[in-house]
Amino acid sequence: MAAKVFAEMFIEDEDAVCKDKARVETAFLAHLHTLQKHYQKHRESEKSDEDTNGATEVKKRDDRFREAAIQRKFNVRSWPFVDQKYS
């Protein structure tokens, strides 16, 4: 529908190089397809950025957990009442 309307309006323009309605419709639809593909790529890159940020947050959380575990291990080993065989 939109391609037909566009083709009619395009052909009515005096400056139009091509007056073949079918070719104008085909070119319009090809252009729409290209726009859709560009939009999809843009959305996918935004999503991958979000995924990367999420992965970064997970890594930060894991690093904090690992550091806390090391600190707990250190605290237990430095505790004066700990039996030496558990260190």
Give the number of other CB atoms < 10 A from CB of residue 71.
10
- CA distance readout (Å), 53 to 31, 40, 62, 67: 33, 20, 14, 21
Structure tokens at 34: 């290209």
Q: Would you state the pLDDT for residue 8?
A: 93
Percent of residues, the chain, with pLDDT higher than 70: 77
pLDDT value of residue 87: 47
The pTM of this model reads 0.52
Helix/strand/coil (H/E/C) assignment for every residue in the chain? CHHHHHHHHHHHCCCCCCCCHHHHHHHHHHHHHHHHHHHHHHHHHHHHHHHHHHHHHHHHHHHHHHHHHHHHHHHHHHCCCCCHHHC
Span of 5-9, 12-16, 24-28, 79-83 with lowest mean pLDDT: 79-83
Q: For residue range 20-30, what is the model confidence (pLDDT) as tens digits? A: 999 999 999 99
pLDDT at 37 exceeding the cut of 60: yes
Q: For the chain, which residues make up each domain, given as ranges?
A: 2-78
**Share of residues in the chain with pLDDT > 90 (%):** 37
